[in-house]
């Protein structure tokens, strides 16, 4: 566990070369002392089929609804089958890498979770989930930004970071969140260092406004990353991230966490869940995505090791998919889905939420898994219990009518 001293030893020497170092060096050392909590939000864009991700093999309605894409129920000793969780639910076999995290109680599932809004539009539903205001599109900011705003102010360039080309809706708001495509390329990319020095000097002038302030923060961040670019931040404990956009994003989030640069909220997303055609069962399109997803989460957890006590990963998707398979061996847009909570002080090894059932009369609008846990109930619990964020104004207009899930110790 790094102390202030070890941090200075490991990262500080690279920084003294830069004149502007002391301010953030002090800040960073403080952050390292306090070593705050980190929330990592993962968005599965395109609506993941929660019924395949966490399969309800104990529900008699499951298999019959999906003649060609239902998973075989788990069976002891058969590794190519779904991984039983509690006698009723099972992980998709492509998520077998998550089994050990389930077994050691660091991973929980919240099933039949979703939005009270009935839209089946990806983009509307994503918008609602990111703003945290189902049915209200004019909300200017995102719920993660609001969560960050309620935390004691710790101005740091890497306080809230999204890995990707643009700042996602959920981090919009006046919190100085930054988006980074690649931390290796988060720098001025001139042929030599002179352009970088020039830009830095230009933004370092005495003017105090948003532009110059952000410019100074940017170069602090750039330098912070340059110094953090040490080999000690290579994946630890033999963690092996899958290649690809999501693996890269999570690997870099782990690097930012281990660099102790004040990260509190991170965001990554993964595309490709919109399986209308040829979804597959144990193998196929969805299995392919889930394998990447599960292996990445497992690598992330392994990489961070003990540090996972301070880190909580929350996965989400805008809605689930139809219970019945469609005419193209796929599934159409549905309603509730499953979400995962990993790390922190989570009481894992359990599936949370009331199971609404797959009987015809139990389905939402006669076709979809009903929502029994409003996503805001889950998000608020994670924000409050993991980050310590006050939740009074986190989700405007929302008063949870269900008791807390009791996800955390």
Residues forming the site for another protein (CB under 8 A): 121, 123-124, 126-127, 137-138, 140, 157, 165-167, 169, 172, 174, 176-181, 186-195, 197-199, 201-203, 205-207, 210-212, 214-215, 217-218, 221-222, 272, 276-278, 280, 284-285, 288, 328
Closest CA to 355 of 367, 344, 371: 371
Burial class (CB in 10 A: 0-12, 13-18, 19+), 42: buried
Closest distance of CB 343 from another protein, Å: 26
56 or 157, CB closer to another protein?
A: 157
User: Does residue 42 contact residue 269 with C-beta atoms inside 8 Å?
Assistant: yes
Query: Residue 360 and residue 371: Cα distance in Å, rounded?
Result: 15
Query: Residue 318 and residue 136: Cα distance in Å, rounded?
Result: 15
Closest distance of CB 110 from another protein, Å: 26
Closest distance of CB 212 from another protein, Å: 6
In the three-class reduction of DSSP (H, G, I as helix; E, B as strand; rest coil), residue 142 is classed as: coil
Closest distance of CB 215 from another protein, Å: 6
Residues with Cβ within 8 Å of residue 278, at least 6 apart in sequence: 284, 285, 328, 329, 330
Closest distance of CB 288 from another protein, Å: 7
Closest distance of CB 130 from another protein, Å: 9
Closest distance of CB 195 from another protein, Å: 6
269 or 303, CB closer to another protein?
A: 269
167 or 382, CB closer to another protein?
A: 167
Closest distance of CB 70 from another protein, Å: 18
150 or 214, CB closer to another protein?
A: 214
Angle between the 21-34 and 210-228 helix axes, to the nearest 10 degrees? Answer: 70
Closest CA to 304 of 270, 339, 266, 343: 343
Beta strands (DSSP E) in 125-280 are: 160-163, 178-180, 265-270
Between the two ends of the chain, the Cα-to-Cα distance in Å is 23
Query: Residue 392 and residue 403: Cα distance in Å, rounded?
Result: 15
Structure tokens at 65: 């609804």
**Integer-rounded Cα radius of gyration of the chain:** 22
157 or 320, CB closer to another protein?
A: 157
Q: What residues does 109 pair with on adjacent strands?
A: 340, 351
74 or 294, CB closer to another protein?
A: 294
Sheet holding 83-84, edge to edge: 54-55, 90-91, 83-84
Structure tokens at 146: 């609001």
Quote the Cα angle for 175-178-180, to 5°. Answer: 165
Closest distance of CB 48 from another protein, Å: 15
Which DSSP letter does residue 157 get?
Answer: T
């Amino acid at each position: 566990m790094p102390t202030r001293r070890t941090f200075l030893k490991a990262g500080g020497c690279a920084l003294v070369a830069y004149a502007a170092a002391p301010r953030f060096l002090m800040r960073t050392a403080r952050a390292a002392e306090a070593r705050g909590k980190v929330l990592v939000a993962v968005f599965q864009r395109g609506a993941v089929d929660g019924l395949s991700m966490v399969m309800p093999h104990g529900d008699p309605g499951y298999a019959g609804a999906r003649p060609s894409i239902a998973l075989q129920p788990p069976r002891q000793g058969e590794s190519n089958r779904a991984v039983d969780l509690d006698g009723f639910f099972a992980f998709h076999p492509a998520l077998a890498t998550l089994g050990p995290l389930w077994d050691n109680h660091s991973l929980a599932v919240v099933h039949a979770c979703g939005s009270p809004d009935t839209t089946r539009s990806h983009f509307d539903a994503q918008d609602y989930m990111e703003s945290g205001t189902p049915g209200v599109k004019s909300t200017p900011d995102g719920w993660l930004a609001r969560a960050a705003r309620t935390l004691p102010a710790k101005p740091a360039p890497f306080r809230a970071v999204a890995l990707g080309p643009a700042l996602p809706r959920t981090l919009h708001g006046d919190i100085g969140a930054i988006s980074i495509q690649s931390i290796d390329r988060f720098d001025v990319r001139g042929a030599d260092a002179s352009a970088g020095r020039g830009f830095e000097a230009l933004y370092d002038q005495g003017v105090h406004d948003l532009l110059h302030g952000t410019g100074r923060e940017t170069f602090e961040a750039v330098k912070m990353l340059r110094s953090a670019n040490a080999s000690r931040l290579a994946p630890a404990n033999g963690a092996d991230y899958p290649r690809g956009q999501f693996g890269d994003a999570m690997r870099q989030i782990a690097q930012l966490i281990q660099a102790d640069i004040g990260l509190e909220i991170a965001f990554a997303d993964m595309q490709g869940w919109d399986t209308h055609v040829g979804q597959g069962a144990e193998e196929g399109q969805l299995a392919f995505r889930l394998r990447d997803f599960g292996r990445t989460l497992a690598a992330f957890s392994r990489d961070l090791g003990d540090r996972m006590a301070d880190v909580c990963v929350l996965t989400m998707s805008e809605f689930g998919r139809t219970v019945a398979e469609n005419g193209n061996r796929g599934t159409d847009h549905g309603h509730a889905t499953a979400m995962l909570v990993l790390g922190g002080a989570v009481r894992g090894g359990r599936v949370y939420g009331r199971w609404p059932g797959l009987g015809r009369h139990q389905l939402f609008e006669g076709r979809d898994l009903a929502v029994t846990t409003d996503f805001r109930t889950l998000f608020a619990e994670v924000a409050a219990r993991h980050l310590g964020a006050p939740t009074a104004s986190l989700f405007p207009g929302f008063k949870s009518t269900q008791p807390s899930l009791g996800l955390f110790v």
